[in-house]
Structure 1
Amino acid sequence: MQFLQPLMLWSLLLLPLMVIGYLWLLKRRRKQVVAFPTVSWILQNMTTPSPWRRHVPPALLALALALLLLASARPMARVTLPADYMTLIMAMDVSRSMLAEDVEPSRIKAAQKAAKEFLQDLPANVRVGIVSFAGNAQVVQHVTTQKEELVAAIDRFQLQRGTATGSGLLLSLATLRPEANIDLEAALYNPNPYGYGDASANGIAGGASGGARSLDAKPAAKQRTPEPPGSYKGGAIVLLSDGRRTTGPDPLLAAKMAADWGVRVYTVGFGTPNGFIPGYEGYSFFTQVDEEALKGVAKITEADYFKAGSAEDLKKVYQHLSTQFTLEKRDTEITALLAGAALLLVALALTLSAWWFRLGPPTANNLKIAD
């Protein structure tokens, strides 16, 4: 639990002082009873409740005060609330490595089936767009709530050579946040236009020339104040890939751009270490998931990475994600909750006191003389 005004917690020191004062009053009252035997005789012969009951209302009032003092520090707690995600972009790898049959019937067929089931599990008001990437990236379905169109787009996937994971991520970011006017061409083709790390070392287009820029190249985009990673609640990206990047921007640099726009990128590594695709003249090519890159993308954007080695695993991953986009844990101020609980305790203390002790002067009904 966190507190917005932690200095107010010092006020809790009042509680032990109040307890000490309460005990002192009880002790003083006993001395007065002994000093006046007539009063003592009357008190002993009154029909009063069990001795422990007289301590319950003060205890409830003390607990109520503790809650109020705690509320004054404005506590924050992680609670599960309905998610605010309204738009999701599914970025899916359609490189030829998806032909591998280590996942039955094939990676691409299993991925298509799981993706379509994932769409059916999403709330009806969630808007979804689909981006595919291989040697380059393209939007195969613009953002929509029509699930029939989304399913048809998934069925239209065409496998191609190459794996441009970074391009798929950048295009997904531009599709998710069109109001940001992201210069997609600069991001895809300029050597590190936003100043993220060393472009030449990370294989972004143009890095082979040592960072030199031609005279007709576009200038770098203007610097902007980045948003906190994971702060954008209007949408998220789900990226599925089964291999390593072979072309295009570094996905880690693309992830840093997504993080600066506050967008979370949930990544899914699909396939097994034994996956291969047949090549020319009987040669086969093994294809393995670049888990380190996918984990890095998820970490940079304050999201999660999932490993799916089978069709059933992928189905479970998508089921988990559908829950993630329906409910989420969020830091929420619970001051009002504590204050409300304190008021209920005060009301309970007053009610019990009135019920047990019949507030008012002694009468023939509540005073009994010993025989």
Structure 2
Amino acid sequence: MTIPAPLLALADTRWLWLLVPVALLAVLYLVVQKRRSRYAVRFATLPMLERLVPRRPAWRRHVPAVLLLLTFVALALAAARPEVDEQVPRERATVIVTVDVSLSMQATDVSPDRLTAAREAAQQFVRGLPDGFNVGVVEFAGSAAVLAEPSPDHDQAIAALDRLELAEGTAIGDGVLTSLAQIRALGEQTTAEDGTDLTEPVPAHIVLLSDGSNTVGSTLEQASAAANELDVPISTIAYGTPDGRVEVDGQTIPVPVDQPSLDALADATGGNGYAAETADELDQVYEDIQSSIGYRTEPRDVTAWAIAIALVLGMLAAGFSLLWFSRLP
């Protein structure tokens, strides 16, 4: 899982030294208040103090000073150029939807069956991707096949998902390598059909859905090494329940999900490992992946906000001081 970045960061922390004199002012204020109280008690009797000093809440005389100190703190933070992380939609990316079509995907532990639910969720996922994304579809069982080459035509990918067909074997490694070959081929192009310059590298991501273990073809270690060479993360979805079963030649065969292997593949490539046991959970997983792929995090300068807060605090300090004591702090 990804670790969320801090909500607030400072671009230039050297300016934080301005907080030192602010702290000294706070200490000085406390010292002056303590001395003032001591002198008042020493040179006047308590009955006289009650007649000379108007009765008003003691905390009021501290409010303008506290607000003024907070004003200085906000100004010091503004000098350090505060930034917050902001989610910005990506304009371009390549996503390969790689789907397991091994015979275990006909298990009905997920209604109506694993493959049908996976197809519908994947189609919904593709519909939600930004228009500028290149989307491709790869299926794998005993071998891997490209059903749709990556392109901005998302309808082509959606239609390709309707052509998923069950077959024997589970070649997860080959599915990854075939997906990577499509990404590499797209990267070798220099101009898209619409005239877009493709020489600038764009992020790529493989979203792989499977319910079983790698049984034939390339190993998961070979697949992860190839993905890391191209700097392509793989997000895996372990789909199904531990109690899944299929009928093959009159025999009932258990087909539990091998989540540890899929999680290991995701971790090795910098992707995220997910698990889903129902169609609704699968939809939620795809929504999470869609959010992480479709957006990038960029720092946004909020210095203006810090200055605005400082101005508001300063005006409040002046306003309360004039209202309660008829003078500026």
The one-character-per-residue Cα deviations of 1:7-47 (angstroms, maximum 9, x if unpaired) are 76565444432112123445667759x99xxxxx9xx69x9
Q: Distance in 1 between matches of 2:228 and 2:244?
A: 32
Is 1:300 the counterpart of 2:272? The answer is no
Corresponding residue number in structure 2 for 1:193: none
The one-character-per-residue Cα deviations of 1:214-273 (angstroms, maximum 9, x if unpaired) are xxxxxxxxxxxxxxxxxx983432110111112233224433443454433221011223
CA contact (8 A) 1:56 1:349 kept: yes
Corresponding residue number in structure 2 for 1:227: none
Classify the secondary structure of the residue corresponding to 1:170.
Answer: helix
Classify the secondary structure of the residue corresponding to 1:249.
Answer: coil
> What amino acid is aligned across from residue 215 of structure 2 in structure 1?
T
Corresponding residue number in structure 2 for 1:246: 215
User: Normalized against structure 2, the TM-score is what?
Assistant: 0.72
> What amino acid is aligned across from residue 262 of structure 2 in structure 1?
L
User: Measured at CA, do residues 312 and 20 of structure 1 come closer, stay the same or move farther in structure 2, by a change above 3 Å?
Assistant: closer
Q: Distance in 2 between matches of 1:60 and 1:258?
A: 55
CA RMSD, aligned part only? 4.1
Q: Distance in 2 between matches of 1:247 and 1:275?
A: 21
Tell me how far 1:357 sits from its aligned partner: 5.2
Determine which structure has more spread, i.e. the larger CA radius of gyration.
1
CA contact (8 A) 2:87 2:298 kept: no
Tell me how far 1:327 sits from its aligned partner: 5.8
- Aligned residues: percent identity? 34
> What amino acid is aligned across from residue 270 of structure 1 in structure 2?
Y
Alignment equivalent of 1:84, drawn from 90, 98, 101: 90
Alignment equivalent of 1:108, drawn from 105, 112, 115: 115
Corresponding residue number in structure 2 for 1:66: 73
Is 1:320 the counterpart of 2:288? The answer is yes
CA contact (8 A) 1:98 1:242 kept: yes
User: Normalized against structure 1, the TM-score is what?
Assistant: 0.65
Classify the secondary structure of the residue corresponding to 1:263.
Answer: coil
Tell me how far 1:139 sits from its aligned partner: 2.4
CA contact (8 A) 2:141 2:167 kept: yes
Corresponding residue number in structure 2 for 1:22: 29
Q: Distance in 2 between matches of 1:92 and 1:20?
A: 65
Tell me how far 1:294 sits from its aligned partner: 0.9
> What amino acid is aligned across from residue 218 of structure 2 in structure 1?
P
The one-character-per-residue Cα deviations of 1:24-71 (angstroms, maximum 9, x if unpaired) are 445667759x99xxxxx9xx69x9987644433321221132234445
Corresponding residue number in structure 2 for 1:271: 240
Stretch of structure 1 that moved more, 10-19 or 87-96: 10-19
User: Measured at CA, do residues 272 and 24 of structure 1 come closer, stay the same or move farther in structure 2, by a change above 3 Å?
Assistant: closer
> What amino acid is aligned across from residue 287 of structure 2 in structure 1?
Q
User: Measured at CA, do residues 17 and 322 of structure 1 come closer, stay the same or move farther in structure 2, by a change above 3 Å?
Assistant: same
Total equivalences in the alignment: 303
The runs of 4+ residues in structure 1 deviating greater than 6 Å are 47-50
Classify the secondary structure of the residue corresponding to 1:254.
Answer: helix
Pairwise mapping of residues 338-353 of structure 1 onto structure 2 (< 5 A)? 338-353=306-321
Pairwise mapping of residues 129-208 of structure 1 onto structure 2 (< 5 A)? 129-176=136-183, 178=185, 180-181=187-188
CA contact (8 A) 2:236 2:262 kept: yes
> What amino acid is aligned across from residue 114 of structure 1 in structure 2?
A
Q: Distance in 2 between matches of 1:123 and 1:80?
A: 18
> What amino acid is aligned across from residue 244 of structure 2 in structure 1?
G
> What amino acid is aligned across from residue 166 of structure 2 in structure 1?
L
Q: Distance in 2 between matches of 1:141 and 1:60?
A: 62
Q: Distance in 2 between matches of 1:157 and 1:12?
A: 63
The one-character-per-residue Cα deviations of 1:166-205 (angstroms, maximum 9, x if unpaired) are 22223333434656559xxxxxxxxxxxxxxxxxxxxxxx
The one-character-per-residue Cα deviations of 1:123-180 (angstroms, maximum 9, x if unpaired) are 4454422122223323211234444322211111233332221222233334346565
Q: Distance in 2 between matches of 1:176 and 1:341?
A: 48
Q: Distance in 1 between matches of 2:160 and 2:138?
A: 10
Q: Distance in 2 between matches of 1:326 and 1:354?
A: 52
The one-character-per-residue Cα deviations of 1:302-329 (angstroms, maximum 9, x if unpaired) are 332221223333233223334444567x
Corresponding residue number in structure 2 for 1:199: none
Gaps of 5+ in 2: 1-5, 44-48, 190-200
Classify the secondary structure of the residue corresponding to 2:112.
Answer: coil
Q: Distance in 2 between matches of 1:356 and 1:327?
A: 51
Corresponding residue number in structure 2 for 1:204: none
Tell me how far 1:72 sits from its aligned partner: 5.5
